[in-house]
Structure 1
């Protein structure tokens, strides 16, 4: 296992074992604030009501089960969060994840559309790619919703990104996809002549 993938595995373990201080150190070493994290988020955790509504929608489709059936998700019922939804395919049991759908408004804020790419091919700062991979792997393994808000480095144009990650099962009962709502925070104008990362 390469050092990059080992870091993701360590971050996943920290998430599953609620060792948030260990995960936070990765962000601090990279000049970013530690993320806010909540398993099974309650209504009071959502700063943006659209993520709370998405969580309610998923819970309704799950009908008391640990995860909703992926075919029960109807895109026409997600108009309230249109443009801020991602759908990821779980590859090789969670070794990687492919962006089947990458919301148009997320792509607009991020500066590129990564539909069809995998998380490992995301092409951003290594620490944040590892964080994305770790959160998706943790949700796949735990079969629980996870709400995360991370705060990009000061040179980023986006002050924060809030993501609600929801597991979806297939006919075999395996977690085969993830439904993700992602909402950007405050916009920070970019200084002339600079092109900083979005994350």
Structure 2
């Protein structure tokens, strides 16, 4: 459930960014689409328990070559084959008003029950999940640094908990956001 403190932080962040993104409504735990989200900026790999996310972060750090972020050309399917089923690659449109999903990993699609490959992020029918995702990728786009997001969602198949690592790629400004997903029940 979103606390007043988290709501105030969201308001301050989006006001500071001058973002047109809508703020999230408060959620009730008995809501059918209850989503819990915790986001934190990631400064080092010490907070990454999942080997897949740690390996993805190490790839991102190595591809930076001392820059703030690696270029989009560093997104290489062969080099990222260890994580392809657990990756989402998004391209910001109109400064982050929307995002085109270039890749939606098969393992993610299977677990969440939908595939967004080739679609816009705005096409997610679950308003709450869409808003949380929009805000997270927009924060990474404007903050130009990695973010760690922990989510708990109720889906038709039952509850699912997962951790996401969001990484910016681009030349000077992010032109891609790579989103690695680790499902907590997969060890």
The answer, yes or no, to whether TM exceeds 0.5 is yes
Taking the TM superposition and a 5 Å limit, the aligned residue runs for 1:11-50 are 11=10, 13-14=12-13, 26-28=26-28, 31=31, 32=34, 34-50=36-52
Residue 177 of structure 1 and its aligned partner are, at CA, apart by 0.8
Question: 2: distance between equivalents of 1:65 and 1:59?
Answer: 9
Residue 154 of structure 1 and its aligned partner are, at CA, apart by 7.7
Question: 2: distance between equivalents of 1:89 and 1:12?
Answer: 25
Taking the TM superposition and a 5 Å limit, the aligned residue runs for 1:76-91 are 76-91=78-93
Partner of 2:148: 147
Question: 2: distance between equivalents of 1:16 and 1:48?
Answer: 33
Describe the SS at the equivalent of 2:62: helix
Residue 159 of structure 1 and its aligned partner are, at CA, apart by 2.5
Consecutive unaligned residues of structure 2, counting only runs of 5 or more, are 1-8, 17-22
Decide whether the 8 Å contact of 1:160 with 1:184 is kept in 2.
yes
Describe the SS at the equivalent of 1:159: strand
Decide whether the 8 Å contact of 2:108 with 2:181 is kept in 1.
yes
Residue 93 of structure 1 and its aligned partner are, at CA, apart by 0.7
Describe the SS at the equivalent of 2:133: helix
Partner of 1:100: 102
Describe the SS at the equivalent of 1:68: coil
Decide whether the 8 Å contact of 1:50 with 1:81 is kept in 2.
yes
Residues 30 and 11 of structure 1, relative CA distance in 2, 3 Å threshold: farther
Residues 63 and 54 of structure 1, relative CA distance in 2, 3 Å threshold: same
Decide whether the 8 Å contact of 1:67 with 1:167 is kept in 2.
yes
Partner of 1:181: 180
Question: 2: distance between equivalents of 1:61 and 1:129?
Answer: 29
- Alignment deviations for residues 77-136 of structure 1 (CA, whole Å, 9 cap, x no partner): 112213001110110011110100110111111112111111111112x12211100011
Partner of 2:170: 169
Question: 1: distance between equivalents of 2:12 and 2:100?
Answer: 21
Question: 1: distance between equivalents of 2:29 and 2:159?
Answer: 20
Decide whether the 8 Å contact of 1:26 with 1:127 is kept in 2.
no
How many residues of Structure 1 are paired with residues of Structure 2 in the alignment?
170
Counterpart selection for 2:125 from 116, 123, 126: 123
Describe the SS at the equivalent of 1:97: strand
Residue 41 of structure 1 and its aligned partner are, at CA, apart by 4.5
Decide whether the 8 Å contact of 1:12 with 1:137 is kept in 2.
no
Question: 1: distance between equivalents of 2:74 and 2:156?
Answer: 40
Decide whether the 8 Å contact of 2:144 with 2:173 is kept in 1.
no
